[in-house]
Amino acid sequence: MVNTTPFLSPHPAFVANPKSHCGTCNLRDLCLPIGLVDAELDRLDHIVKHRRRIARDGVLYRMNDPFVNLYAIRVGHFKTYQVNANGAHHISGFQMTGELLGMEAISSYRHQCNAVALEDSEVCEVPFSELENLLKDVPIMLHHFHRMMSHEIAQDRNAMLQLGNLRAEQRFAAFLLNLSTRYKNRGYSATHFQLRMSREEIANYLGLTNETISRLLSQFKKTGWVKANNREIALIDLPALRLLAEGK
């Protein structure tokens, strides 16, 4: 259901590769699989000047901040959320290692959402204007970047489809499967992982309430599709979850 091509995720072998010249950034690692030569990789290393640590609940950027950098998540998890006129906020996504934050800001030169760390995390600052300069000299990287932006669009479309079409239990199943796929692509278990976000945050993301999420999880436990202990999740019956998410 969710289109998460391995190509666009860091190959496990490259995540946090200690041999990276950069030493500050997984951006190089992200790009290794696309076949860059050393000189190109060096240029990539050089535009990333800062690695930034963000503590749990720390803010990476805020809505309306001027747009300067993209951020490649080196370790950790983030959430991005928007705040509307009457103060209500809506989580637009959860991001994990290897994903790129801030692309929504290119069009308006200001960030369109808040980005907050869900756990102690680390990002690489990628000055966008310098990245664009580099991209125009390295066609393969240019193309890769376009694919990353396009992937973001495809993902958002998918999330819209879920919000607009699916019943609560389907949305939640799709959410768990989405996490599963993304962890798998990063070389982690597709069936056993820890939720980094609260029930409240999941509910907000899915357009539901925390009570509903709680009830659904209990229900999934009862049917034997998942085991769960607090935020520790084990997906027992992936096929059943897929069937449910895809509309019974």
Sites of contact with DNA (CB under 7 A): 167-169, 198-200, 207-215, 217-218, 228, 230-231
Selection from a second copy, DNA, none that 200 binds (CB < 5 to 8 A by kind) is DNA
How many CA atoms, within 13 angstroms, populate the side-chain half-sphere of residue 108? 10
Q: Does 82 sit near a second copy (CB under 8 A)?
A: yes
Q: By C-beta, is 46 or 167 nearer to DNA?
A: 167
Q: At closest approach, how far in Å is the CB of 200 from a second copy?
A: 14
Q: By C-beta, is 31 or 195 nearer to DNA?
A: 195
- Positions 143 through 172 that interact with a second copy (CB under 8 A): 143, 146-154, 156-161, 163-165
Selection from DNA, a second copy, none that 85 binds (CB < 5 to 8 A by kind) is a second copy
Q: By C-beta, is 36 or 105 nearer to a second copy?
A: 105
Selection from DNA, a second copy, none that 190 binds (CB < 5 to 8 A by kind) is none
Selection from a second copy, DNA, none that 151 binds (CB < 5 to 8 A by kind) is a second copy
Contacts for 135 with CB less than 8 Å, ≥ 6 apart:
141, 142, 145
Selection from DNA, a second copy, none that 214 binds (CB < 5 to 8 A by kind) is DNA
Print the binding letters for residues 17-56 with a second copy: x by CB under 8 A, - otherwise: ----------------------------------------
DSSP string, 21-76: SSSS-SHHHHHGGG---HHHHHHHHHH---EEEE-TT-EEE-TTPBP-EEEEEEES
Other C-beta atoms lying within 10 Å of the C-beta of residue 49: 14
Q: By C-beta, is 8 or 96 nearer to a second copy?
A: 8
Binding site for a second copy (CB under 8 A): 1, 3, 5, 8, 82, 84-86, 88, 90, 92, 103-108, 112-113, 132-133, 135-137, 139, 142-143, 146-154, 156-161, 163-165, 204-207, 246-248
